[in-house]
Structure formats: structure tokens, C-alpha cells
Amino acid sequence: MAIKIPALLFASLGLISLSSCNGSSIDTIKAMESNYDNEDKSITLIGEFDAPLFTFSSGKSTFIPMNFVVKSSAFSSEKFTATSVILPIGTNKNNVLFEIPMDQKKYSLKDFYVVDNTGEKINLEKHTTYKMTGTVHYTELEKPESERDNTNFNYKITNVIIEKD
């Protein structure tokens, strides 16, 4: 019986560390969606990139607004999404790359790659966890103060640095 207790304790500690709270990232996303306090500030989130919601047009765009998904724990189905994480398209560090045949109309995670800060190209279908750091800009604050809708918290995250966590 004495041998079982340390094994159970070790297993419990392992589960606790795997399911550790990602509250800081969630709190940051909630704040970005409810006030302008993060304007021109650098934020850090832990999560994974998701394929963006966009339609193909001319193909001349040099940036893609990606989604970044944060979960409260490793075993949670509850998700929070930072939208409009603006990544340059290409094979350079901190870029996004998509490889889609010209005649393909639909896309999925398997068609997208993130190039991290070390230059490693990683397919989004692998569901890799990243530490993403970037600067928040609210589109509403670009308007004159008299024309602003103080309930519109649409933002863009730019100057993104992508690190595997």
C-alpha cells in the first residue's frame, strides 16, 4: 500500500501540471474585448493558431489575420479566441504560410503553416502550443473621439513574435 500512495501522488501532480490554468491569457483576451486598456501595449498569450476566416480574392495580400485560441486548461473544451492576429505571409520568421492548390476552394488547418521565431515551419494541424506576443491596436481609436463607438472593441494584434511553448 505504501508504494501505491507515492505513485498516486506523482500521477496527481502530473495531472495538475498538465491542466494548469491559462487564466492570464484568458483574462487578457477578456480585457481586450471589453476595454481599451491594452492600446499600444504588448500582450502575451499561450495557445494555438487556428485557420483564419477569410475569402480568397486577388491573392496579392501580404498579411493574413489569424485566430489564436486559448483554453483554460489542457482538458477544457472552453475556448477563448483572439481574432485579427496579423501575420505576414511568407517563409520568414514569425510569418504564416499557406499552401493551397489554385483550384482548391476550401481550406483546413493542414493547408497552413506558422514559421516561429527560430525559423521552424510548423503545420497548424499538429495543434502546437505557442507563446504569442504582439502589440494591440483598436480600430475604433483611429477615429476622432467624437465619432467613436465606445462599445466597439475590434482590435488587431501586430508586431507578432511566435515561440513554441
In CATH, what number is assigned to the domain containing residue 71?
2.40.50
Establish if 147 belongs to a structural domain.
yes
Q: pTM for the complete prediction? A: 0.81
Q: Please count the structural domains in the chain.
A: 1
Q: What is the pLDDT of residue 18?
A: 37
- 109 confidence band (pLDDT: 50, 70, 90): confident
Establish if 16 belongs to a structural domain.
no
The residue range of the domain holding 131 is: 21-164
Alpha helices in the chain (DSSP H): 4-18, 23-32
Kindly list the distances between the CA atom of residue 128 and the CA atoms of 69, 105, 116, 138, in Å, as whole numbers in the listed order: 11, 25, 11, 28
Establish if 7 belongs to a structural domain.
no
Q: Is 129 left (phi over 0), alpha (psi -120 to 50) or beta?
A: beta
Establish if 132 belongs to a structural domain.
yes
- 2 confidence band (pLDDT: 50, 70, 90): low
Q: What is the pLDDT of residue 87?
A: 94
**pLDDT tens column, 63-108:** 989 999 998 876 777 899 999 999 999 999 999 998 887 888 788 8
Q: What is the pLDDT of residue 93?
A: 98
Establish if 105 belongs to a structural domain.
yes
Establish if 44 belongs to a structural domain.
yes
